[in-house]
Amino acid sequence: MDTNNKNPQTNIENDDTLTNRQGHPITNNQNIRTVGNRGPATLENYDFIEKISHFDREKVPERIVHARGAGAHGYFESYGMVGDEPVSKYTRAKLFQEKGKKTPVFVRFSTVVHGLHSPETVRDPRGFAVKFYTEDGNWDLVGNNLKIFFIRDAMKFPDMIHAFRPDPVTNIQDPRRFFDFCANSPESFHMVTFVYSPWGIPSNYRMMQGSGVNTYKWVNSEGKAVLVKYHWEPKQGIKNLTMKEAEEIQGKNFSHATQDLYEAIERGDYPEWEMFVQIMEDSPHPELDFDPLDDTKLWPEDQFPWRPVGRMILNKNPENYFNEVEQVAFGTGVLVDGLDFSDDKMLQGRTFSYSDTQRYRVGANYLQLPINAAKKRVATNQEGGQLRYYNDKAPGQNLHVNYEPSSMGGLKEAEQTGKEHTPYVEGNLVRESIERNDNTKQAGDTYRHFEEWEKDELISNLVNDLAICPKDIQDKMITLAEEADEEYGRRLREGLSEKSKVMNEMKMEIGEEMHPLGAKDAHQAVKDAIEKGHEQDPY
C-alpha cells in the first residue's frame, strides 16, 4: 500500500463533469446497476433514484409525461384460452381463466412529450394505458401504441425526455436537441424509424395499436414462469397520417382525437381491441440475435406467434374529465397474482418512477380516489397523508392496532395457494449495457417492411429535421441508416445533400431551426402571423 500518496485520485473531474446533487461525479450515466448486464436491478442505485425521483417532480401538477390524454370506461372479456391452449398452462391470473369472464377497465390514451393542451397531431408516441379492476385488485398495463422504445435502460429516461421536450431557454421544440440525443444513443434508431414515419402520427386513438412495450412474466399455479409481450389490435383498423395531413387537421381542430373517441362512444360505435400475447421461455435465449428484455427490439412473429387471449370494448365516456381522465393514476408495478416482473431494466426503473410520480402529483392517498380505487375490499395499516378521507380498515378490525403481526385483532397475512415464482439470480453487480445490442438490424427490417409512401414520408421528415443539425450529427444518423439498409442510408444521404444545397443558397434565419418534430415551414408561420394579421385601432 502506498502510504506516501496523500491525495489519491478516484475520478477525473473537470469543470464540465456531470455530478449528482450531492456533488458526486457521475461515472456511468448510461446504465443502472444490475446483477449481470441483463438485470435484475438493485435498490441501492442512488444516482438513478436521485435522478429519476427529481425528474418525477419537475412539473406541477400535470403529468411529467403523457400530460395530454383522453379516456373511457369499458370491459375486458377473456377467451379462457391463449391461442388454442388453456390459459392456466401459463398463468393463474383469475381474469384470464374463464371464457366470457368480464373485468371492468378504464383506458387512458395520450401523447407523451408535450403539455396538457398540446395538439393531438404531434409527431410523438401515444400512450395506451389500461387499468383492469380485477377480483384480485387492480392491474395496470401501461404501454404505448408503438411496440418498442427509444432506450433500453431507465437511467437514460430523464435525459431522453429533456432532449425531446422544448428547449429550456426558448420553450420551443428543437430537432437538433432530439437528434443530438438520438445520434449519441444509437439504440434509439429503430424507434426513430417508426416515429419519423407515418406511424409517428396516428389518425386518432381508436385506430391505433397498443403494446405493453416491456417484457413481463406470466406465472402458473406451479410457480413456473414464461416471458410475455402484450399487444392490442384495433378492430376499427389502423390509420396513420402524413405530416401534411396532420398539419391540415391541426389547423381545424387540435383536439380531434379526443372528440373522435367521445363521439364514437356516444353514438354507440364502441371501440374494440383484441388482446394478443407473445410467449417465450424464461431464459436469456442466446440463440437469438437480440435480448428478449431489450425494449428497442421486436419479438419476431414467425418465431413467437401472437396468441389471442381476450377482447376489450370501451362503452362509456367519463362523467367528469378531471376526476377520471386527469386523476387516473397508472403504475407498471401494479400487478395481480399470476403476473410478474421480468428483469427488463426499463420496466424495473419505470416501476419505481410511475407510482412515485402519482404520489407526488395526485397525493399520498391517490388510490382512494374512485377512478383509482380497487373494486373490491381494501384493508391496510396505512395512516395519514395528504387528502386522506377514509380509513381502509377491515370490518371488526381492532382500530387500535395499525401494525402487523398482532394477536389483538389486527390484520393478518393472506394464505398463498399458488407456488411462489423464485427465479435463480447470480452475477456480479455491474453497470453495463445488454451485450446483444445490435442497434440497426431490426430498423432495417422495419424500413424494408414499409410501403413506398411510408418510406418517402420517413425520408422526407428525417431530411427536413436533420438538415438543420450539425454535420457530425447528420453523419452519425446516416451511418446508422446505412447499417440498417443500403437504400435507407443512400436515400437519407442524397436527401440531405440536396437539402444542404438549397439551404446554402438561402441563408437560414434565426429561429428556423426551432419547430415541432417533422414540421415544414414552421418559421414561415411566424412571419405569416405578422404579414397576414389585420391592423386594428385601439379601443
* Nearest Cα residue to 518 out of 137, 205, 192, 222: 192
- Give all strands (DSSP E) within 120-271, no chain letters: 126-134, 137-144, 210-211, 216-219, 225-234
Cβ-based burial of 219 (10 A; exposed 0-12, middle 13-18, buried ≥19): buried
Q: Which three cell numbers stand for residue 83?
A: 391461442
Contact 150, 191 (CB under 8 A): yes
Rounded-to-integer distance, Cα 303 and Cα 311, Å: 23
Torsion angle defined by CA atoms of residues 490, 494, 495 and 500, in that order, rounded to the nearest 10 degrees: 140
φ/ψ region of 287 (left if φ > 0, alpha if ψ in -120 to 50, else beta) reads: alpha
Tally of CA atoms within 13 A in the half-sphere of 153 that contains its CB: 25
Annotation marks residue 144 as catalytic: yes
| Residue 314 DSSP SS3 | strand
> 31, 37, 45, 66: which one is catalytic?
66
Place of cell 409481450: 229
> Which residues have a Cβ under 8 Å from the Cβ of 136 and sit 6 or more positions away?
93, 94, 95, 336, 337, 376
Contact 285, 292 (CB under 8 A): yes
* Nearest Cα residue to 115 out of 171, 71, 172, 65: 65
Contact 332, 347 (CB under 8 A): yes
* Nearest Cα residue to 296 out of 215, 209, 188: 188
* Nearest Cα residue to 325 out of 371, 359, 361, 266: 371
| Residue 208 DSSP SS3 | coil
Q: Compute how many other C-beta atoms are within 10 angstroms of the C-beta atom of residue 284.
A: 15
Q: Which three cell numbers stand for residue 391?
A: 380509513
* Nearest Cα residue to 226 out of 433, 88, 84, 77: 88
- Give all strands (DSSP E) within 400-499, no chain letters: 429-430
Distances (CA, A) of 199 to 47, 157, 174, 306, 383: 35, 22, 20, 20, 46
Contact 182, 296 (CB under 8 A): no
Q: Are strands 272-281 and 307-316 parallel, antiparallel or unpaired?
A: antiparallel
Contact 50, 349 (CB under 8 A): no
> 37, 45, 138, 144: which one is catalytic?
144
Rounded-to-integer distance, Cα 466 and Cα 176, Å: 7
Positions annotated as catalytic residues are: 66, 144
